[in-house]
Structure 1
């Protein structure tokens, strides 16, 4: 049950990002099991995938 009156200092505890745009959208793709294992073995694999997608989009739009 929430505390009556709420948290008066809520703004100080909210998530902040240093990115120009927040990462709020989600996409889902299907890959082979082997590809998934290779990707998730990369340290910080989520950022690796974001950068790979961004690179391909830049190539396509150039």
Structure 2
């Protein structure tokens, strides 16, 4: 019978393709339309991280 709590791999914090581990959380409000469009992406969390990082990078260049 499978473990109802999942596997040990599921209990580890999220891993990212980059160097830093994903340890922090940010909560923000968006419109219903924005939420629907984000949820249609292949990987919604990574999509949001990339969008935020792009904006941060642009602000550094100024």
User: Same-fold call, TM > 0.5?
Assistant: yes
Larger-Rg structure:
1
Q: 1:30 aligns to what?
A: 29
Q: Deviations over 1:5-40 (max 9, x none)?
A: xxxxxxxx7848463111000000000111100111
Please state how far the C-alpha of 1:57 moved relative to its aligned partner: 0.2
Give TM-score, length-normalised by structure 2.
0.69
Unmatched 5+ stretches in structure 2: 1-8
Aligned length, in residue pairs: 50
* TM-score between both structures, scaled by the size of structure 1: 0.69
- Unaligned ranges ≥5, structure 1: 1-12
